[in-house]
Structure 1
């Protein structure tokens, strides 16, 4: 017998046993009621106490008929109730088997919602199945995006190295610098993926110590000055002297990602970098002069492998992970990363972190 049949049989037998006990109680109760009726309205002919307590054959026949009718009604009710209980459970079992077989779109049917706990169980199962399907789809998209991002530098490296081996390219300084640039791109992509993945699973290690955040911002800006100048961006620093308990290396990495994002996408103009404290929080923002983000894209800007302008991304490179790294580092510090339209019509990316590490 299948597991489903055994479960149904157990439910029916349990309800049948309850029904039999209920009918026995009704049987004994009817005798008591008979006794009370005889006590309150005695018959005209005298009856001995022994005859009063012992029913006659006619009474036994009435009790037997009532018991048989009650048992039939109890079995019918128990069977109907068992089907109501089993319908969502069977649907739940079938959904679980379908998901185990690879059909992540399978869902259970709650059926009669008057059975509150069973309906809630089915709803929880469906929510779990939906989340599993969404996570699988995101993982598939991640794998495709990672493969796409790795393919370009690997193809260039293989082509250049084969060309050098075949004598097509002369291994000079220009070729070596180009190869190193592709290797650096691969290294940066792997590092970014590592940070985002570790933060997603809550394993991003932090070396927290008191840090002058304005000093770290200047250290991040200094190596980017030349690249920012080439992009036509003039850096304007508005920094307060603030000490924050943070991982200085990680925070500097987040600042570099914000500066690199501005270099790739911002139009020439001033780039305002601010750092100020408000209560127990510190905000660091990078604001450019344009062009800003559309409302549709602004809600997705921190998602991995998203780009607002594919043509500029192809021109200046980039994997679409920079802002995801910014969000991961901010979250690891107990803070957040936000986007808002800038006061000059451009984009303003802001990191907010607590001044003291939350224990």
Structure 2
């Protein structure tokens, strides 16, 4: 493989050659023009139509200093431009070879546009490095989350094969619960990943959102009551253009989160109009997100107490799924504490559907 010559060296040689060629062109062009003028308009019959040595000396005395000044200026300017570009080219080659920590240097005398180019390149390189680090964390976390249920499934099935466990209804129900947990984890990962890439497909249509919310709460009401919760609904009958399936998924995630981590007491689900949009909120009696993670509680796999979350079956994806669904609808997810210390999660969605669509339902 041929070694690559420096970018600065190549362009410096090219600019120097152009400067010399321009100087020679000016010199000989002036010489020819001067000769033509003398030939057409001779001062006298005795006058020589060609330039004398004195004339050439005078002409060279003007052109050569100008050529030196032009070469000096072009070299200084090229160094201000090409120094950062050489650093940029070197860093690009290092990043292409796998070194994501490489950065280009603009220098102190770089031109404004060149410095901006270097800054944009370094920002891109930093994002690539962050994405690679995040992907490594994701891979390790996903492997960790999948290992536990898979280990349980393998151990139970092997125990049944060896005759240690009887394949009765209770054991099979436990295995089904582990499979359901895996299915939820895979679907949550799929939702967050698709939303992050902007490819989360939504089937938007006008729906009576209060009916969808009531349907979800009816499914979980028995389990909530069995664990000491009291479910209350405060729903306005609004027609909203949403993907009903995704909204049900988000609401179920919020209710599951409250069932796992909130103190036993009241859980309120409300739907209300708010300006040009609607707010779907779930309120419990606390304790809510720990202060140290409240600002990043919607980031995937972020958990306040990992040991407690694993004991309660949490994967750290619930709130990130809700945020992904809200943002896919053009809305957002908000969190705050209530005056009495409860936790309030609000999905702010777009405005309600047109009345014509509402009349068609």
Does the 8 A contact of 1:85 with 1:115 survive in 2?
yes
Is 2:69 the counterpart of 1:68?
no
Deviates more, 1:304-313 or 1:153-162: 304-313
Alignment equivalent of 1:142, drawn from 133, 138, 146: 138
Shift of 1:243: 0.8
Q: How many residues align?
A: 344
Residue equivalent to 1:132: 128
Q: Which moved more, 1:315-324 or 1:10-19?
A: 10-19
- Are 2:315 and 1:315 aligned? no
Q: TM-score, normalised by structure 1?
A: 0.86
Q: How far does residue 22 in structure 1 lie from its aligned partner after superposition?
A: 6.3
Instruction: Give 3-state SS (helix, strand or coil) of 2:105's partner.
Output: coil
User: Per-residue deviation at 1:288?
Assistant: 1.0
Aligned to 1:123: 119
Residue 302 (structure 1) shift: 0.9
Contact 1:12 1:82 in 2 (8 A): no
Q: Could you say if the C-alpha distance between residues 113 and 77 of structure 1 is closer, same or farther in structure 2, counting changes exceeding 3 Å?
A: closer
User: Which stretch has the larger CA shift, 171-180 or 51-60?
Assistant: 51-60
CA change 1:292–1:50 in 2 (3 A) is farther
Q: What RMSD in Å do the two structures reach over aligned CA positions?
A: 2.8
Provide the TM-score with structure 2 as the length reference.
Answer: 0.86
Change (3 A) 1:131 1:5: closer
Kept after mapping to 1: 8 A contact 2:100/2:125: yes
Q: Secondary structure at the match of 1:207?
A: coil
Cα distance in 2 for partners of 1:293, 1:157 equals: 32
Measured in 1, the distance between the counterparts of 2:10 and 2:205 equals 65
Greater shift after overlay, 268-277 or 224-233? 224-233
Q: What stretches of structure 1 of length at least 5 have no aligned partner?
A: 33-46
Aligned-residue offset at 1:69 = 3.2
Equivalent of residue 92 in structure 2, options 92, 96, 105: 96
CA contact (8 A) 2:8 2:83 kept: no
Cα distance per residue 1:147-176 (max 9 Å; x no partner): 010000000000011111111111111111
Shift, 1:208, TM fit: 1.7
Residues 230, 315 of structure 1: alpha-carbon distance in 2 compared, 3 angstrom cutoff: farther
Q: Distance in 1 between matches of 2:48 and 2:109?
A: 50
Consecutive unaligned residues in structure 2, runs of 5 or more: 34-42, 355-361
The residue correspondences of 1:6-155 to structure 2 (distance < 5 A) are: 8-18=9-19, 21=22, 57-155=53-151
- Report what 2:342 is aligned to: 346
Aligned match for 1:227, one of 201, 223, 226: 223
Which of 267, 285, 288 is the aligned partner of 1:271? Answer: 267
1:294 correspondence with 2:290: yes
CA distance in 2 between counterparts of 1:307 and 1:231 reads: 22
SS of the residue 1:177 aligns to: helix
The aligned residue for residue 255 of structure 1 is 251
What's the offset of the Cα at 1:16? 4.5
Query: 1:11, CA displacement in angstroms?
Result: 4.2
Moved more, 286-295 or 72-81: 72-81
Structure 2 residue matching 1:299: 3-state secondary structure: helix
Query: Which of 275-284 and 286-295 deviates more?
Result: 286-295
Cα distance in 1, alignment partners of residues 9 and 92 from structure 2: 19
Contact 1:264 1:312 in 2 (8 A): no
Q: Give the secondary-structure state (helix, strand or coil) at the position aligned to 2:201.
A: coil
Q: 1:205 aligns with which of 201, 214, 218?
A: 201
Distance 2:177 2:158 in 1: 17
Contact 2:250 2:322 in 1 (8 A): yes
**Greater displacement, 290-299 / 314-323:** 290-299
